[in-house]
Amino acid sequence: MIQRVGRCLAAAILAISAGVGLAADDPTSAAGRVNVLLVCVDDLKPAIGCYGDALAKTPNIDRLAARGVRFERAYCNQAVCSPSRNALLTGFRPQSLGIYDLATNFRRAAPTVRTLPQLFRDGGFHASALGKIFHVGHGNHDDEASWDEPLFRGKTVQYQLPENRGPSREEARFEGRSPEKLPRGSATESAMVDDEAYDDGRIAAEAVRRIRAAAATPGKPFFLAVGFLRPHLPFVAPKRYWDLHDPDALPRPETTRAPIGAPPYASSDWGELRQYKDAPDKGPVDEALARRLVHGYYAAASFMDAQVGKLLDALDDTGLAEDTIVVLWGDHGWHLGDHGLWCKHTNYEQATRIPLIVSAPGMRRGETTAALVESVDVLPTLLDLTGLPSVAGRDGQSFARSLADPSAPARDHCIQVYPRGKRLGRAIRTADLRLCEWREFGAAPDQAEIELYDMNHDPGETRNVATEREEDVARLRALLAQHPEPRPPLVGPAADRSPKRVSRGAAR
Catalytic annotation, residues: 81, 135
Whether residue 481 contacts residue 448, with contact meaning beta carbons closer than 8 Å, is answered with no
Task: Report residue 386 CA to chain centroid gap.
Answer: 22
Whole-angstrom distance, CA of residue 192 vs CA of residue 299: 13
Q: Which stretch binds Ca ion (CB under 5 A): 313-321, 328-336, 369-377, 471-479?
A: 328-336
Give the DSSP H/E element, type plus range, for residue 474: helix 470-481
Residues in the chain: 508
- In the complex, least distance from residue 48 CB atom to Ca ion, rounded to whole angstroms: 16
Strands (E), 309-430: 324-330, 335-336, 342-343, 353-354, 356-359, 367-374, 414-420, 423-429
Smallest distance, Ca ion to C-beta of residue 477, A? 29
Q: Closer to Ca ion at the Cβ: 81 or 326?
A: 81
507 near Ca ion, rule: CB under 5 A: no
Q: How many residues bind Ca ion (CB under 5 A)?
A: 4
Three-state SS for 276? Answer: coil
**What residues contact residue 340 under an 8 Å CB cut-off, 6+ apart?**
253, 256, 257, 258, 267, 284
Count of CB atoms within 10 A of residue 500's CB? Answer: 9
194: left (phi > 0), else alpha (psi -120 to 50), else beta? Answer: beta
CB of 496 to Ca ion, least distance (A): 15
Please say which residue, 228 or 298, places its beta carbon nearer to Ca ion: 228
In the complex with Ca ion, which residue's Cβ is closer, 331 or 374? 331
Q: Which stretch binds Ca ion (CB under 5 A): 6-14, 169-177, 325-333, 466-474?
A: 325-333
Considering the complex, state which of residue 356 and residue 404 has its C-beta at the smaller distance from Ca ion: 356
CA-based nearest residue to 357, from 31, 57, 46: 46
Angle (nearest 5°) at CA 328 between 322 and 333? 170
Q: How far apart are CA 11 and CA 5, in angstroms?
A: 10
By beta-carbon proximity to Ca ion, the closer residue of 56 and 81 is 81
Distance linking the first and last C-alpha atoms of the chain: 44
CB 331, min distance to Ca ion, A: 4
Q: Kindly tell me which residue out of 61, 81, 109, 204 binds Ca ion, with binding defined by CB under 5 A.
A: 81
Residue 379's identity, in one-letter code, is L
- Please identify, using beta-carbon distances, which residue of 323 and 331 lies nearer to Ca ion: 331
Q: How far apart are CA 436 and CA 195, in angstroms?
A: 41
C-alpha pair distances (Å), 83 with each of 77, 97, 207, 301, 449? 8, 9, 25, 22, 24
**Which of the stretches 217-225, 240-248, 326-334, 354-362 binds Ca ion when contact is defined by CB under 5 A?**
326-334
Report if residue 331 touches Ca ion, rule: CB under 5 A: yes
Beta carbon of residue 112, minimum distance to Ca ion (angstroms, whole number): 27
> Smallest distance from the beta carbon of 304 to Ca ion, in angstroms?
12
Cβ-count burial 288-314 (b if 16+ within 10 Å, e if not): ebbbbbbbbbbbbbbbbbbbbbbbbeb
Q: Which is nearer to Ca ion, 43 or 437 (CB)?
A: 43
Q: At closest approach, how far in Å is the CB of 13 from Ca ion? A: 32
354 belongs to the binding site for Ca ion (CB under 5 A): no
Supply the Cα-derived Rg of the chain in whole angstroms: 22
The 34-53 site mask, x for binding Ca ion (CB under 5 A), equals --------xx----------
Residue facing Ca ion at closest CB distance? 81
Residues 1-40: x where in contact with Ca ion by CB under 5 A, - otherwise, as a string = ----------------------------------------
Smallest gap from residue 5 Cβ to Ca ion (A):
33
Task: Give me the least distance between CB of 466 and Ca ion, in Å please.
Answer: 29
Nearer to Ca ion, 13 or 79 (CB): 79
Distance (Å, rounded) from C-alpha 274 to C-alpha 170? 10
Please count the other Cβ atoms lying within 10 Å of the Cβ belonging to residue 116.
24
Q: Cα 222 to the chain's mean position, in Å?
A: 22
Q: Which span (67-75, 161-169, 329-337, 451-459) binds Ca ion, by CB under 5 A?
A: 329-337
**Helical (H) or strand (E) element with 383:** helix 378-386
Give the nearer residue to Ca ion in terms of CB position, either 227 or 380: 227
Residues lying near Ca ion in the complex (CB under 5 A) are found at 42-43, 81, 331
